[in-house]
Structure 1
Amino acid sequence: MFRLAPLLMLVGWITISTVIVGLAIALSFSGIL
């Protein structure tokens, strides 16, 4: 169980980063279009 915590935190950070990058790309595309 203790080994799953860092993995879950890593997955969470990757998910949050992906969402932020996706929003930034969407905003830049909508700004260009």
Structure 2
Amino acid sequence: KRSFYGTISYMPAIFGLYASAEVINKLITVK
């Protein structure tokens, strides 16, 4: 269970990085 909770705590950070990368990609593509 310890590793299970550890994985869940890591998800928000990974999702944030992925989301920011997508936004930056779209901004660069538009310009």
Please indicate, yes or no, whether the TM-score normalized by the shorter chain is above 0.5: yes
Question: Which has the larger helix fraction?
Answer: 2
TM-score range, shorter chain: 0.7 to 0.9
User: With structure 1 as the length reference, what TM-score do the two structures score?
Assistant: 0.69
Larger Rg: 1
**Deviation >3 Å, runs of 4+:** none
Q: How many pairs does the alignment contain?
A: 28
Unpaired stretches in structure 2, ≥5 consecutive residues? none
Unpaired stretches in structure 1, ≥5 consecutive residues? 29-33
